[in-house]
Structures are given as structure tokens and as C-alpha cells.
Amino acid sequence: MGNPPTTPDGPTEPYRWRWLILVAMLVAEIMDLLDASIVNVAGPDLERSLGAGSVGLQWVIGGYALTLGAGLILGGRLGDRYGRRRMFLIGLTAFTASSLLCAAAPSIESLITFRLLQGAAGAMLLPQGLGLLRENFSGAELTKVFGIFGPVLGLGGIIGPVLGGFLIEGDFFGLGWRAVFLVNLPIGIAALIVAARFVPKKAGDRSVRVDTPGAALVAVSCALLVLPLNQGQESGWPLWTWLSMAAAVIGFALFAVEQRRAAAAEGREPLVTPGLLRKPAFTVGLGGIALFFGGLVGTQLVLTLYLQIGRHFTAGEAGLGNLPLAVGTAIGGAVSGAFLADRIGRKVLQIGPVVQLAGAALLWFELDGLDAASFSVWDIAPGVAVAGIGAGMVIAALFSFVLAAVDDDEIGSASGVLSAVQAVGGSVGVAAFGSVFFDRAGTGDFTAGFHHALIVQACLLAAFLAITFLLPAKGRPEDEQHGVAPGEHAENADAPRLGV
């Protein structure tokens, strides 16, 4: 529809169709959040339809997050170089097309491949959204945009398993699990039409160089980490699994070294601002995000597997079984965001995991006291809801405390790294918790599998709690969280994804 009027000093008036840009960005983000969780309830259907085993299911769920996380930083750089509108349209087209491929997959191997492609498409799509919004909104309107963004994205994360259960159990047109991917087609096509027509064209900066070696190191290191976690339990943890995980650690260390070299070399630009890696609070915070989201996503998966495989819930019932967790998370986030974070600072990140541990302990005893003949989700709802409250308290505040250690000109790079670590942490959580659960579930003792998963979660929460003492005492002000320094508006910063 054309570009907003500009002068050498910037836009002279707001772009007429800017609110339709917000709609397209929200749709894209919701598609990502739905696809990250909607498949959780598809396990039994995938087993019946495609012969998917436990490892295959873990790859279908975690593979998407793996390629998404591995490519997010690269996707942001490509947007800088080739233009955010162009990369958004390419990413959205690829995401929609790969959703169709997933729906048509004839085998579990092809479905895993298409899910990996879908995650890679998401990595090209998602980093462009917030940058496009910053190019077209400013001042009070930008604050309003982010006020809309948060609740909508939170809702997208909550309704994923519920919508997935509804679609699978409804078995519309005999599609079964394939419907959870086909739902992206009308949504994606509509968003593509709106974006192509109303997002203004703006050329990228061809002087921006893409650090291909750095991107390759990240991708390979992520694969070396997740592959043995997915395959290890079924293979009996042979030597190659341990060597692969050790190689992943070396790969991430080499990435840090390579980024410093790229920053020092003339004509090269690193994917990650090297100064970030010299900030102890930021690097420690990355570990905290990986621990927290690995535990959160992993336990969400185990809850769904327990209900479906262990208690023979239908997909729809298992989706509704996630509601206590979702409601608890919403309550915890509201309490943290509205009352606690500003008043007690970092302590909210310490109260949250303690509440989660209390919920896990309550859930442990609820599982011990179950009557298998009369089980309903309400038997475990209190423990699940309490754990959700603790998780919501952390989610609402975590990123702002990690970003408090970051300078204003580093916000964009830092946010991309945090988003990538969040996604990869979730992928690792799916692999690790799935392996722990299926190790016991394979013997028919599903309660023991859930118990073991709760032990792993408790260890991760304890490690996360220890890390919080190394974070800044206060989070960043709300405007600086969005990459806006006091009194000005940054154009190129990307805020982290705050969905689960």
C-alpha cells in the first residue's frame, strides 16, 4: 500500500494501515506458540497412525523448538540485511507450506523432517515481527502495542493443548491429528494477504554481513546436544551419546570465541554482540532461562503423556487437563506483573521456584494417593495449579531481570539470544523429560515415571533458584525492555518471546 511519508529525520505522520500490521504480527506469533504445544496431545494418534514410538514423539515435539532456537539469531540478521518485510513474507510462506507438508506426512520420519523445516521457517519469521512494529509505531502507541502483545501471546501458549485436543477428538473430516497442522493454512494465508498488502516496503541494509560460520556452529552444537538426549534412553546410553553432548559444549564455547574474532575482524559482524558474553549476570541468566524453560516445557509434556498414556484420557480430555496449569500460570503472572516485581525486585524470581517446588511436592503426594478406578484430573489439579502459579511468577519477570545487565545498544542482540536459549532449552526439556518418563512408563509404572520427572524438575528448580542470586536486584524499566532507552525509540531491537 506504499510507505509512510518520511523525511531525513524520520516519519512525518503515522502510517495509515499500521494497526493491520499489528494483526499480521500477532497471527504469526500465535501460530508459532500453537505449534510449539498443540502436538503434545497427539501422541497416541501418531502412534496408531504412523507407528510413532517414544523417540519419534519427542522429535516431533522437540525438533520444532530445536531448529527454531538454532535459527532465531540468524533470522534476525537476515531481516537486517534483506529487509524485515521481505523476510517476514518468506518466513510466513515457508511456515504455512511446511504446515501443509506436516499434515500430509506419510510416515513419522517425514513428519519429523517437516517439523524441523517448520521450526526453521519460524526462525526466519518471528524475529521480524517486533522490528516491523517498531518501524511503524512510536511513543504511547508503541507502549499500547506491547500491552496488547503480552496477553495475546500468553493466551496462544495456553490454548495450544486445548485446541489440539479438540481438533483430534473431533476428528473432523476424518483428519485426526493432521488437523492440528491444517489449522495453520487458513490462518497463515490470511496473514500473508494482509502482510503483503499493508506492510510497507523498506529496504534492508546490504552493508550488514551475515556471520555464516557462527550460525553453522550454533546449529551443529544444538543438534549435537538434542540428538543424544532423544536417542539415548532407547539406545541404552552408548558412548557416542556422551561424546556428542561433550562435543556440543565444545561447540558452544567455540561459538563464543568465533563471535569475538568476528567482532575484531574488519568486514565481519558477529551474530551476538561480544560484550554480552563478557557480562557475568547475562551469561548466568542464559543458564537460568535454559534451566527454567527446560523444566517447564518438559513437565508440561509429561503431564499430557501421563494423562493420555497412563490414565487413558482422550486427546480432548488431556487438553482440558492442562487447564489447571494454564490458569495457575495466568494467576501467577498477573500477581507478579501487577504487584510483586516492582515492589520486591529479584525476590519474585526466588519466590516463584519455591512455589513451584511446593506444587511439585503436593502433586507427588496426590499421585501416591490416587485411586486408579476413579481417577479424574481434579485429583491432581491443586498441585498442578500451584506449580503453575509459581511458573507464572517467574515468566512474568525473568527476562527483564536478565536484560537489566545489558546496555541499551545491546538489547536487540541480547533479546535474540534469550529467545534462542528459551527455545533450545524447551527442546532439551522435551528430550530429557520424555526419556525419564518413558524409562519407567515402558514397564507400565506411569506414576513412577511422573515421580522421576518431578525429581528432575526439582533439581532444575533448585539450580535456577541458586542462579537468581547472581541476577541484578531490579529488572529493566518497561520501556527499556522493549529496546527503548529513556526519551528515545530504538528501531532495531528485538524483544524476547514471552510465551511458553
pTM for the full predicted model: 0.80
CA distance 46 to 181: 13
CA distance 405 to 338: 22
Place of cell 509429561: 302
Q: Which of 87-101, 105-119, 143-157 has the lowest mean pLDDT?
A: 143-157
pLDDT in tens, 177-216: 999 999 899 989 998 998 888 888 887 777 777 888 888 9
pLDDT in tens, 22-38: 888 888 888 887 787 78
pLDDT of residue 3: 53
Average pLDDT of the segment spanning 70-93: 88
Q: What DSSP assignment string belongs to 308-376?
A: IIIS---HHHHHHHTHHHHHHHHHHHHHIIIIIHHHHTTHHHHHHHHHHHHHHHHHHHHHHT--GGG--
CA distance 309 to 329: 24
Contact predicate 292/402, CB 8 Å = no
* Residue 100 in this model has a pLDDT that exceeds 50: yes
| CB atoms near residue 295 (< 10 Å) | 28
Average pLDDT of the segment spanning 475-488: 48
Average pLDDT of the segment spanning 63-85: 86
**352 CA to centre of own chain:** 19
CA distance 27 to 34: 10
pLDDT in tens, 314-354: 888 888 888 888 888 888 888 877 677 678 878 889 999 99
pLDDT of residue 492: 41
Confidence category of residue 237, pLDDT binned at 50, 70, 90: confident
pLDDT of residue 152: 65
CA atoms 297, 302, 305, 311: torsion sign: negative
Phi-psi region of 493 (alpha: psi -120 to 50; beta: other; left: phi over 0): beta
* Residue 5 in this model has a pLDDT that exceeds 60: no
CA distance 209 to 252: 21
SS3 assignment, position 6 = strand
